[in-house]
Structure 1
């Protein structure tokens, strides 16, 4: 029998498994096979203001962005200045983004998030708030010691505490606020990385943030011919604007292996190793990167006829060097691409060192670490853990057993792009905490953004054709999703209302990705297409694929914590207003409305209406 936990979790020895319930403000996380943890995410009020809301002189400050935002929020939500704390902020090409937390006795609320974005001229562009007026707030002085309950929590969640404790308040569904110890629980060999909230008065496990985005794909095990190698030697691929020191310089030391400032790829030979620091000694001892020569030549051809052997004590991992190199290349390209379109050091990206004076207000020491051929974790999957800014991301690329021989996810560039995009969307939504795509609906949005990024990297012509995701690892021509992404409703029938009964964020993500596919198709038909390699290096272009990626990336910091489909749509419309003066507004509305996400769509009820002036 499945029950929802309401008391201290029982001790379990099994590794947690994550599942979801399709509720916009709630996500049920299955920690063992018979119990659920009810994770609550407050609903966000969200408003956008088109060209920008002019403020009265008593509120607006022509010189102090933070002061303007703070005064606006106090007048908007009636919370005093002493109850709001600026957590993070950054400026982008289209405006200024500030993220606040509600506080009590100087202690922040983890899930009472307030956000405001301003235009370049200090008008209000968007506002969101999940702040609360609480019926009861727990004492700010803990009545138990964390060490007394940590062993039980570690055994329950299947990992070890890897961070120091801190105190935060947690808004509860019944209108109260609990005082919580906050620690990170990690077991990388088991694909586990939680931020745990433990009641500082009762010891109850109240909530978790799941930093790992799992990509559990629907696939048919249909065998296909062996991979025909398409490897080529690519010289000097680094974008020296996004990566000024190249890919093999961390700002502290130069490497000649697959480690660098943005990405580290290796074969993880010690699954019990807790990989939490960025020291050079750890990079070169427990995880094993592949070495090049002093000229940085990494030339390892693939022999696709070889199969891995997991069963014998000796084990064998064919094409391991090539796997490490391909993952290193692709994820560095993803770093440089997303940097060009706004995922910079200021916007909480993944880098060991924030170079050239950039990212002064954000944290460093957080490259993406990639374990290829991670057979101890499983097969037929991929994972990306994206903890808060300042802690490294962690990616697992596994084998897929739907073909003979098995295929290596490290050679599936669409899956690599998909996984990296999880890190982008988790960091850029909500101001770098990675806490703001945790409800089932918003987690599904994350899956959709990741799929559409994979498609974006693979565009080859001006006509946006139906897109099949994951065909290589599936070993078939239909891929890993229910339907191809298509503008044709006969080929892909997904509508907004379909997500009401979906319990898996990956299913929800298919609906969102197909909507975005339709937006991409419209923009490319309207403005044309430029070769992806050129689009990656020159985001000032006006072709449709460039416009689309700007709208997606610009919208992420504009939207609220744990956004719904209508709120994510509104953020894209607001991004179009800020960057392109709303020129695409009506066509974007029509495109979303065609899939049920029209003007009055809410609560999973389709609506096909668009604004009257469209």
Structure 2
């Protein structure tokens, strides 16, 4: 994926974060990802899921730290490497599996009966009556594994996203169950106030779409919420590619998923890599008979349709189809251009300083894309990958060939591409049955020197790795799905794996075919080398960088260090924090290690089977577990130790930790699994509230890597006296044991567990402004960017990885119209400290950090006292800062925090300029500390 970014000011050239220079020093700075947060109808709103709303997550986190007894019984039954992972919303299993075996033994029963019998025998855990389930799909992969999807229904209305999936091996053994079903299904959901047409209109408005397409559709679903199931419409709108669930009564958006993963017989003349590549860089004649009909008049094949979408309206208008150069032939020799970055190895195909120059190679570009799409379709179709029709691949006969829009938007600015149609490529993948859309753009920006936009002048579709990367988004989004077939790659970790799979599958194929060179020496596989004339700038490191590789070939970044990346580098590779392309490098390098260890054929099979076995919205650790399970399926578990060694070396060892796929600060660990007969002990203790000196009830005590169902659930919740106890802990040293939650800041310790039971006490500080502890946003002003994950609620979510961003309306110099958030505390507090992290977030650069500020307090929300004023500077970024309190500290029930300026001037800039602080003002977190009044 190469995500297109727009600079804040109208008319400025665009860069792309996915293919932007990775260096953190001088040179151009790409605009923030959320600069699309404008009134522009081309803006792309982010994903949203009411089931994963921060309020829901906070409410259920401590509940799952003390799971029901039936879950504990199941964990005991499955053993040390068992997984019983409960969903926060439903309280039912998100995943039940074992890493050291299957759930049941071999059986001659039909696969459906194996799954239903298991559900029946564990009805108390899953909370469903198997007789009420509807089998939606029984997909058999090339290894003979049945992948069963069962829908829950209220009458004829299916439940959205929360059914049951079961995987049954060829020999009839049950591999795992996933899905998080809904308990206590109602008899009916009542009627819908909205029509399907109205729901589609609502979805289009929410997605900033301006027209309908023939593929748009809507049907009723039952959507799980905290208050129970809601009747809604699942809609698909394909102008820009969105799937929504719209509440059928209120019209509220319950779910939004951007289906576009952004980034980059007849015969024909084609190359196999990129124009000028040392291997596969020369045009050669190939037969297209496997993909095109003998009398084809357009590039419409058996799995793809390619045309030049010059005006970006997603349809082939007059003059945009590409026909044969002569009857039966698509022979279009490259017409070469010269320029600063053009060379014999990196040949250029247009001149960004000459209008319409892209027309010289238009037919050649499109023909090349038909070839790349068709070759990769066949590669993924064949064993051992097996992306077949049953798996949901892309076939013209099934009505969902890839619609490839080449030179997308090349003529949107008088013969040039405008700023929204350069340096990019993307793949939008709806559920099976509807065509995905691949869009390939020109690079670089028109009339822009190479020093400002350092990309080889070409169509991104001329580079095999760019096309294969985008195509792989189609593979992963069709395989990692819920019971209804909707992709669940929505979180930071799963999104990063989506980018990583794109890189890995592309270079796996190119290296296997001898088109890219990879020896035992690290640092040889530069990702997307054609786009930047061989510079290692699209990714921060080559794909084959091993842990500890020298900085001369694997330079890393200042925030993550040199050498191959490990799990603890997540969120630190990009200087702006978590970012899917940067963080995906960890996963891509890990899979390359696995390929080196096991060989490409076995690794292709394991990685693909793991996608099919994955739970919804997986973390890296979820997918590690799925790869281990896929080895049990494919080769009877013969490679378990080698797989563990690879992942442990990358920090994803037995005790590595991640809350879920949305965790942007995972804990790395390099341990192999302990022996089943290793000694065990226990820990216990008391947790004290720092503010009151009394016991802290409801606080979770968790071991990194053991708090979500994996390997025994090392977790407990303090009782009314602040006491907790955790039994059956393997003897050893645990570097990250934490106490926190319920509004208390997490405290982390290194705990050594010996044969003698350990006593570990804690003192935790309560943040009275935390939404997890009952605080709420009572009021705010300015633009609401909650849909982008950076609304006012993110200022009180106890996360330093997310924050509040608002519009900055410049009044004079770098002063702005005030932007405030009012927080209602859960009770009156005698305040001892108020702390603020003013850092720019939501993809903005540091200039968007808050500069001047004001803090006010109130006992009733009516009469206010100015408690603090001041200015935050660069030294105050990336940390909580205590503000000097001048008064208004007793009996406080409301706190109002106001952003009065940005840090543009601190950066040495002025407005207007490209600095995001001229458009947005941000704060990461506001915390309030003290003791309950009285």
TM-score by length of 1: 0.78
Q: Secondary structure of 2:113's match? A: helix
Give 1:343-422 correspondences, 5 Å limit: 343-353=387-397, 364-374=398-408, 375=410, 376=412, 377-401=420-444, 402-403=453-454, 406-422=457-473
Instruction: Using the TM superposition, give the Cα deviation of residue 22 of structure 1 relative to its aligned residue in structure 2, in angstroms.
Output: 14
Higher helix share: 1
Aligned position for 2:235? 183
Instruction: Using the TM superposition, give the Cα deviation of residue 206 of structure 1 relative to its aligned residue in structure 2, in angstroms.
Output: 1.6
Aligned position for 1:429? 480
Aligned position for 2:136? 87
Answer whether contact 1:46 1:560 (CA < 8 A) is retained.
no
Change (3 A) 1:304 1:580: farther
Give 1:592-607 correspondences, 5 Å limit: 592-603=647-658, 604-607=666-669
Answer whether contact 1:248 1:256 (CA < 8 A) is retained.
no
Give 1:451-530 correspondences, 5 Å limit: 451-459=503-511, 460=514, 463=519, 465-466=522-523, 467-485=525-543, 486-490=545-549, 491=554, 492-499=563-570, 502-523=577-598
Change (3 A) 1:227 1:269: closer
- The CA RMSD over aligned residues, in Å, is 3.4
Query: How big is each residue's C-alpha offset from its partner over 1:307-356, in whole Å with a ceiling of 9 and x where there is no partner?
Result: 64789886743311111111111111110000002101111110011xxx
Answer whether contact 1:112 1:131 (CA < 8 A) is retained.
yes
Aligned position for 1:220? none
Aligned position for 1:195? 243
Mapped partners of 1:383, 1:153: distance in 2:
21
Q: Secondary structure of 1:165's match? A: strand
Instruction: Using the TM superposition, give the Cα deviation of residue 552 of structure 1 relative to its aligned residue in structure 2, in angstroms.
Output: 1.3
Change (3 A) 1:124 1:580: same
Change (3 A) 1:411 1:325: same
**Which stretch of structure 1 is more off in the superposition, 575-584 or 417-426?**
575-584
In the alignment of these two chains, the number of paired residues is 528
Does the alignment pair 1:581 with 2:636?
yes
Mapped partners of 2:644, 2:501: distance in 1:
18
Change (3 A) 1:51 1:44: closer
Aligned position for 2:22? none
Answer whether contact 1:45 1:130 (CA < 8 A) is retained.
yes
Change (3 A) 1:338 1:469: same
Mapped partners of 2:149, 2:625: distance in 1:
19
Does the alignment pair 1:106 with 2:156?
yes
Mapped partners of 1:131, 1:510: distance in 2:
33
Query: How big is each residue's C-alpha offset from its partner over 1:125-161, in whole Å with a ceiling of 9 and x where there is no partner?
Result: 1221222337999824212334446545423312134
Answer whether contact 1:267 1:289 (CA < 8 A) is retained.
yes
Aligned position for 1:45? 95
Aligned position for 1:339? 381
**Which stretch of structure 1 is more off in the superposition, 75-84 or 419-428?**
75-84
Mapped partners of 2:378, 2:657: distance in 1:
37
Aligned position for 1:73? 119
Aligned position for 2:622? 567
Instruction: Using the TM superposition, give the Cα deviation of residue 301 of structure 1 relative to its aligned residue in structure 2, in angstroms.
Output: 2.5
Does the alignment pair 1:266 with 2:307?
yes
Mapped partners of 1:180, 1:384: distance in 2:
27
**Which stretch of structure 1 is more off in the superposition, 13-22 or 553-562?**
13-22
Residue 601 of structure 2 is aligned with which of 526, 530, 546?
546
Mapped partners of 2:376, 2:260: distance in 1:
19
Q: Which has the higher contact order (CA 8 A, sep 6+)?
A: 1
Mapped partners of 1:591, 1:404: distance in 2:
35
Residue 220 of structure 2 is aligned with which of 156, 162, 167?
167
Mapped partners of 1:122, 1:344: distance in 2:
22
Answer whether contact 2:202 2:246 (CA < 8 A) is retained.
no
Give 1:196-211 correspondences, 5 Å limit: 196-211=244-259
Instruction: Using the TM superposition, give the Cα deviation of residue 264 of structure 1 relative to its aligned residue in structure 2, in angstroms.
Output: 1.4
Does the alignment pair 1:328 with 2:386?
no
Does the alignment pair 1:15 with 2:42?
yes
Instruction: Using the TM superposition, give the Cα deviation of residue 456 of structure 1 relative to its aligned residue in structure 2, in angstroms.
Output: 0.6
Mapped partners of 2:564, 2:466: distance in 1:
24
Consecutive unaligned residues of structure 1, counting only runs of 5 or more, are: 1-9, 29-39, 217-225, 239-245, 276-282, 354-363, 524-543
Answer whether contact 1:55 1:123 (CA < 8 A) is retained.
yes
Residue 104 of structure 2 is aligned with which of 42, 46, 54?
54
Instruction: Using the TM superposition, give the Cα deviation of residue 119 of structure 1 relative to its aligned residue in structure 2, in angstroms.
Output: 0.9
Q: Secondary structure of 1:44's match? A: strand
Instruction: Using the TM superposition, give the Cα deviation of residue 248 of structure 1 relative to its aligned residue in structure 2, in angstroms.
Output: 0.9
Instruction: Using the TM superposition, give the Cα deviation of residue 113 of structure 1 relative to its aligned residue in structure 2, in angstroms.
Output: 3.6
Mapped partners of 2:489, 2:331: distance in 1:
37
Mapped partners of 1:586, 1:234: distance in 2:
46
Mapped partners of 1:54, 1:150: distance in 2:
44
Does the alignment pair 1:64 with 2:110?
yes
Change (3 A) 1:23 1:546: farther
Instruction: Using the TM superposition, give the Cα deviation of residue 596 of structure 1 relative to its aligned residue in structure 2, in angstroms.
Output: 1.2
Consecutive unaligned residues of structure 2, counting only runs of 5 or more, are: 1-36, 56-87, 265-273, 339-347, 413-419, 445-452, 555-562, 659-665, 677-934
